[in-house]
Amino acid sequence: MPRAMQNIGAGVYPTVSKSQFDKLLEDDLAREGDSHNPSDPKFAALKAETLAKYNVADVKDLPFNYGGFVMMEAEEISSEIFRKHYGELLERFRMQNRVAELASLLNPYLAIRNFSMATSGSDFSAYTDFQWQAEEFRFNMIQKLNDLHTNQIKTENDRTQKISHAVWEEFPAFEYREATIFESLRQQTPAITSVIFWFLAACAAVYFVPKKTII
């Protein structure tokens, strides 16, 4: 029954495959501004705007490295697109799971399983939590690199310049923030309801069963 329910959920709310997902990102990127495309209108406008702001004729005359600056803007756009689509995908997964979660009202096995997975931090919400924290970590790291590129690297001969070892050591390591038990359990209302219901039902059954049939 659990397997069938989960499969039905996946059938009712189909999701995109990885290659379709990549295609969605690619299409949105082409629409929203692709920094890798030399003739992209959005980045052409950004260039004109920046040049006007600093009153210079060429990006080489800017007080910072324009290459890094563009990458920072591009990262902002592409990460926003990724977060949007990935959020939609995870929401879709959540809807798939809801079918089996609702079935857990009828099936105490599923309820106990979801309940114990939530308490041990191995349930779906722990998974999404980790995914978002990893993405946040990646985004901050990349933007820090772009910041270094913009402010510490000169445009000329950029491929031969190096950044000191000390700067790299300052980069923080990834640390996973675990959800508290209450945060995890809040996601499991159907499971908890079901466990309580079955517990009461079992008590009632024991209480109301006529004594003589027990022997």
Candidate list 35, 97, 146, 194; residue touching other proteins; CB under 8 A: 97
Contacts 24+ apart (CB under 8 A), 77-81: 77/29, 77/32, 77/33, 77/35, 78/25, 78/29, 79/135, 79/139, 81/25, 81/28, 81/29, 81/32
DSSP summary character for residue 141? H
Q: Could you say which residues in the range 23-52 bind other proteins, by CB under 8 A?
A: 23, 36-37
Instruction: Report the candidate in 68, 84, 85 with the shortest Cα–Cα distance to residue 18.
Output: 85
- Binder to other proteins among 41, 53, 63, 159 (CB under 8 A)? 159
- Minimal distance in Å, beta carbon 94 to other proteins? 9
Among positions 106-125, residues that touch other proteins (CB under 8 A) are 124
Cα–Cα distance between 119 and 107 in angstroms, integer? 19
The 124-143 site mask, x for binding other proteins (CB under 8 A), equals: x--x----------------
Q: By the criterion CB under 8 A, which residues form the site for other proteins? A: 2-4, 6-7, 9-11, 14-23, 36-37, 89, 93, 96-97, 100, 124, 127, 159
